[in-house]
Structure formats: structure tokens, C-alpha cells
């Protein structure tokens, strides 16, 4: 038996992550106005289990309990998102004091518990009043976002140092406007590309606003990056994989780091290219302090003439394990490859693993506990992959497991469980830490991972 202890860097930030719409509930409380996800989840046949996020897991009322759980587990870092519809309630920019007060109480409780907050400004819950004028397709929404961000940063920057502008802009733009699986449910290539451009533009502009308001703040963006490989060595599959990487990875990272869209994809999209102003390119490339990387899977890509976007599709190999969330291969090597490729392409940018986790059909056992050995193994192997990237010179600052709680998983409703804490949807939403929660607690306490093999 081979055994080795992997030591992580001093002050490595171990924590968990959540998103406002997925956990808060209280959609009609505290002056909150509807978001596009309220509208989408109430539209018949849009959500797999037909459920909405109206209550979610009631974090709006139960956040003291959830923070106490984090403290009990010894987790000292927490990534959350603000709900824009709780803070700015109309197109005129009217501030809702009760929304600010809710997050005051939440952030103060985190700090009192010794937990550092990392705040995401946009995790997909666009106010419906902005969607009514075109949403992110309309450049006015960029200005509205800057107004919202300015209010939030001015109010919270005395207690919040770490800011993340957008979560997964490719998911928000393409899943919501290309394939219709997310709010607002559109299916239009030019619209999706325009939405993506306006999100990247808003990101770049808000970086400068945050720095002006809070010069000591650390600001980054969260990108959902996958390792992309061709399904075969056929030329058509190799080119399809290049397009996939171009559309879903480089389209969102090149503007941030290089100040331009990738030339191959600009040529490919042609007349579908978004409308932009000359100054947009410079604005998108505002210097950031770190990159958040959300990693879930490798993408094994084959040519597909039927795909109207990039003529490519994801495929699978039967011998590679897949998560209960079936489109996700369990491929920790891909996380290592993503991290080293970011360093190779863009230099020594500090990185946080801002999301990583897996779904299982978790149940409460006869002993009253939730045993999830597959998730423990998943986290162990992905932690180890990150350690390897660090050993090869990648500047990785922290790791936020997705998610703290089982929650509302967007278009899947409550049918998928990502949490390290079980939420009993049949029994008053009681919380039960899973074995994976105690595993993470042990890793965070010792800042080490033990590797064993035959």
C-alpha cells in the first residue's frame, strides 16, 4: 500500500458555495421583485420536476442555522451571491433597503462566525423588469447592472473584500438564449452571442467601478471551464473540438485576458457576431485579481452536422464513469489540465476553484446519517488534481465545493442533489451533514489530503 500526504499552501481557502435563487426562497418577502427565474420556473414544462424556487431551501429565514453548520464544520470561507431583485427593484434604479438589510444580517453573521464572504454579483437572477425591455440583449441592462453593482459595493465593501462579477457567463447566455434550457428560455444564436458580449462588457466595466469604490478589493470573474478533447482522431472531430473550446471556453476567457475574441470563432460566427462599440474590447479586458474556475467535466466532442451552433456534440466513452448528473464525466484529470492550460495561455493569474462537486441519489440511512462515499471519492480525487497543478506552478488560492446545501438545481428543480449537507424536502427542510461534509471539514482543518493506492 502506497500512502502520501498532500500538503496545500498556507492560507489555502477551503469552503463551499451557493447561489441566491437556488437557496433563498422568500421570493415575495423583503420587497424583492420577480426575476427571470421566477417567471421561467412558473412556466409549465420548463422545470423537470415542475417545482419552483419560491421557497427553495428557505435560506432567507434559516441562514443563521446554515451559518452555524459551516462554523460547526470549521469552514472559514463561503461563496454566496446577491439577488439583484432584492436590491434594485425597478428600471429607475430604486433601492430596496430591506434587501440590503437582509444581506447586512447575513454578512455580519458570517463574519461573527469567523467565515470570510466571497460575493458574486450576478448568478443568473436578472430582474424581470429588465427582461421586459430585452434583458441582456439590450445594452441598457449593462448600465442597470453597473448601477446595481455600485450600490452593492458601496454598501458592503466595508465587510466584503472578495468580489466576483459574473458566474458562468456562457451558461447564462447560451443555456438561457441558445438552447432555451434556462431563463429566459430563448433559442437564437445571434441573441445568445449578443447577451454574452453584454455580460463580458458589464464585467469589465464593473471591475473598474469596484476598484474605484474599494481600492483594496479583490475582483474576479467566474468561468465554467471544461477540458475539451476530440472523440476520435478524425479531422472533422478534431475541428469540432477546437470549435467547442472556442465557443465555450476561449470566447469567454480571451476577451478578459487578451482583449479580443478568438479569431477562429469570429470568422466562424460571421454575420452572427454581436453588435459592439469600438471601446468595448478595451473595457472587457479590465485587469482582474483572480479567476474563478468552475469545473465539472471533460467534454469529449464529435462533429455533428445537425448542430446549428458549432456543428459539434458531446459524446461519451462507456468505460469512463459518469455522475448521476449524466452529462458530467467523473474526470479529475480534466481539472488538472484546465488549470495548467489557463497558466499556459494567460499567465500566472491567481485562481480559485469557485465550484466543483457532483450529484448523487442521496438518502438518509437507518442510522440517521447520509453516507455518500462516491462524493467523498470524487472530492478526494479532484482535490488531488488541484494539488498536482499547484505542484507544477499554478497559483491556486482556494477551493469552494458546490454546494453547501442540496438546493434548487435550475431546470432540474429539486431532482439533483449537489449538497454536502442533505436537505429533507419531505420533513421541514431539515439539514443533515453528509459524510462528504465531514470529509471536507477534515481537509480544511488539516489543509491536507491523504492519497492511498495499492
Catalytic site positions: 168, 355
Strands (DSSP E) contained in 57-205 are: 77-81, 116-122, 162-167
**CA 350 to CA 45: how far, in whole Å?**
41
**Beta strands at 290-294 and 218-224: parallel, antiparallel or unpaired:** parallel
**In the block, which residue shows the cell 449524466?**
326
What would the grid cell of residue 395 be? 497559483
Backbone φ/ψ region at 93: left (φ over 0), alpha (ψ -120 to 50), beta? left
Q: At what angle do helices 373-391 and 332-346 cross, to 10 degrees?
A: 30
Beta bridge partners of 401: 16
* Angle formed at CA 202 by CA 196 and CA 206, multiple of 5 degrees: 150
Radius of gyration of the chain (CA): 21
Is cis: bond before 322, omega within 30 of 0? no
Q: What is the DSSP letter of 88?
A: B
- What is the maximum alpha-carbon separation in the chain? 65
**CA 290 to CA 286: how far, in whole Å?**
12
Long-range contacts, stretch 182-186, CB < 8 angstroms, 24+ apart: 182/40, 182/124, 182/410, 182/411, 183/35, 183/36, 183/37, 183/39, 183/40, 183/41, 183/124, 183/126, 184/36, 184/39, 184/40, 184/126, 184/131, 184/135, 185/40, 185/43, 185/46
**CA 207 to CA 221: how far, in whole Å?**
9
Q: At what angle do helices 332-346 and 251-258 cross, to 10 degrees?
A: 30
What would the grid cell of residue 392 be? 507544477
Helix residue ranges, H only, 280-391: 280-284, 332-346, 373-391
Neighbours of 373 (CB within 10 A): 11
Neighbours of 450 (CB within 10 A): 13
Strands (DSSP E) contained in 175-248 are: 218-224, 227-230
Amino acid at each position: 500500500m502506497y500512502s502520501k500526504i498532500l500538503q496545500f499552501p498556507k492560507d489555502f481557502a477551503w469552503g463551499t458555495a451557493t447561489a441566491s435563487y437556488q437557496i433563498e426562497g422568500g421570493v415575495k418577502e423583503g420587497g424583492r421583485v420577480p426575476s427571470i427565474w421566477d417567471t421561467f420556473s412558473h412556466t409549465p414544462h420548463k422545470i423537470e420536476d415542475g417545482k419552483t424556487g419560491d421557497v427553495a431551501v428557505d435560506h432567507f429565514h434559516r441562514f443563521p442555522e446554515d451559518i452555524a453548520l459551516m462554523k460547526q464544520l470549521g469552514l472559514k470561507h463561503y461563496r454566496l451571491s446577491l439577488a439583484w431583485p432584492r436590491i434594485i427593484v425597478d428600471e429607475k434604479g430604486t433601492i430596496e433597503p430591506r434587501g440590503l438589510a437582509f444581506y447586512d444580517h447575513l454578512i455580519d453573521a458570517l463574519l461573527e462566525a469567523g467565515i470570510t464572504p466571497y460575493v458574486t454579483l450576478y448568478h443568473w437572477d436578472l430582474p424581470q423588469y429588465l427582461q421586459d425591455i430585452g434583458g441582456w440583449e439590450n445594452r441598457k441592462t449593462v448600465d442597470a447592472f453597473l448601477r446595481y453593482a455600485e450600490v452593492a459595493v458601496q454598501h458592503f465593501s466595508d465587510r466584503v473584500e472578495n468580489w466576483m462579477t459574473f458566474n458562468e457567463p456562457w451558461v447564462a447566455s447560451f443555456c438561457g438564449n441558445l438552447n432555451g434550457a434556462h431563463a429566459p428560455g430563448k433559442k437564437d444564436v445571434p441573441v445568445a452571442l449578443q447577451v454574452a458580449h453584454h455580460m463580458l462588457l458589464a464585467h469589465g466595466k464593473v471591475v473598474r467601478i469596484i476598484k474605484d469604490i474599494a481600492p483594496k478589493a479583490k475582483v474576479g470573474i467566474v468561468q465554467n471551464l471544461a477540458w475539451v478533447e476530440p472523440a476520435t482522431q478524425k479531422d472533422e472531430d478534431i475541428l469540432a473540438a477546437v470549435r467547442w473550446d472556442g465557443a465555450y471556453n476561449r470566447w469567454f476567457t480571451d476577451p478578459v485576458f487578451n482583449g479580443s475574441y478568438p479569431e477562429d470563432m469570429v470568422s466562424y460566427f460571421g454575420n452572427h457576431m454581436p453588435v459592439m462599440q469600438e471601446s468595448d474590447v478595451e473595457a472587457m479586458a479590465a485587469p482582474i485579481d483572480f479567476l474563478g474556475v468552475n469545473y465539472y467535466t471533460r467534454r469529449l466532442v464529435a462533429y455533428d452536422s445537425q448542430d446549428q451552433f458549432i456543428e459539434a456534440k458531446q459524446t461519451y466513452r462507456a468505460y469512463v464513469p459518469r455522475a448521476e448528473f449524466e452529462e458530467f464525466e467523473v474526470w479529475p484529470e480534466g481539472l488538472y489540465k484546465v488549470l495548467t492550460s489557463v497558466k499556459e495561455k494567460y499567465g500566472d493569474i491567481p485562481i480559485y476553484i469557485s465550484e466543483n462537486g457532483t450529484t448523487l441519489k442521496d438518502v438518509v440511512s437507518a442510522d440517521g446519517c447520509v453516507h455518500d462515499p462516491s462524493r467523498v471519492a470524487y472530492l478526494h480525487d479532484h482535490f488531488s488534481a488541484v494539488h498536482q497543478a499547484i505542484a507544477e506552478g499554478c497559483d491556486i488560492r482556494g477551493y469552494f465545493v458546490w454546494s453547501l446545501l442540496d438546493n434548487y438545481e435550475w431546470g432540474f428543480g429539486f431532482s439533483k442533489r449537489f449538497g454536502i449537507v442533505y436537505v429533507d424536502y419531505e420533513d421541514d427542510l431539515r439539514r443533515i451533514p453528509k459524510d462528504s461534509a465531514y470529509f471536507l471539514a477534515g481537509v480544511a482543518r488539516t489543509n491536507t489530503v491523504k492519497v492511498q493506492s495499492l
